[in-house]
Structure 1
């Protein structure tokens, strides 16, 4: 699984191509919200951009229970097992 940090820019075409080429488009991309205000909206916008630019959109949206704590290892394991690419929202 590749984790793309939105603060460092949009996923490169190469990163997205690798994620898609590893299997079918189903399950290729998920969003991980840090549960801050606006994170869900940010993930939806990034998902739309990836769908428009690369033909893949988010197949799932997951969230940490709180912005004050890190993601549980179980959540990260679940994401790694289900998806090939994750976009993590850290914005307010």
Structure 2
């Protein structure tokens, strides 16, 4: 799974290919909560907006156990296997 920081994005020389894993729906989208207060509500609202504006509604909402630690590799592997796109909450 490749994570792109939305505050800096990618350069034109680094295209980001978004390919669905075998059997994964093309619009599969999840939110990954950092477990901070408000993250779940923020991700749910972003998911609804993406569904309304782009037809790629949320198919799941996952969470790290704590904001104090990074995501476990197993969680990232699960997300990469189940979803095509992920919106990651990084702030309150």
**What is the CA-CA distance between 1:36 and the residue it aligns to?**
0.1
Cα separation, 1, equivalents of 2:41 and 2:64:
15
Match of 2:81 in 1: 81
**CA RMSD, Structure 1 to Structure 2 (Å):** 2.4
CA contact (8 A) 1:2 1:85 kept: no
SS in 1 for 2:46: helix
The structure that has the greater radius of gyration is: 2
TM-score, structure 2 normalization: 0.75
Higher helix share: 1
Asked which structure has the greater RCO (Cα within 8 Å, sep 6+), the reply is 1
For structure 1, the 5+ residue unaligned runs are 9-14
Match of 1:32 in 2: 32
- Paired residues in the alignment total 82
**What is the CA-CA distance between 1:61 and the residue it aligns to?**
0.4
CA contact (8 A) 1:2 1:84 kept: no
CA contact (8 A) 1:2 1:86 kept: no
Cα separation, 2, equivalents of 1:52 and 1:3:
24
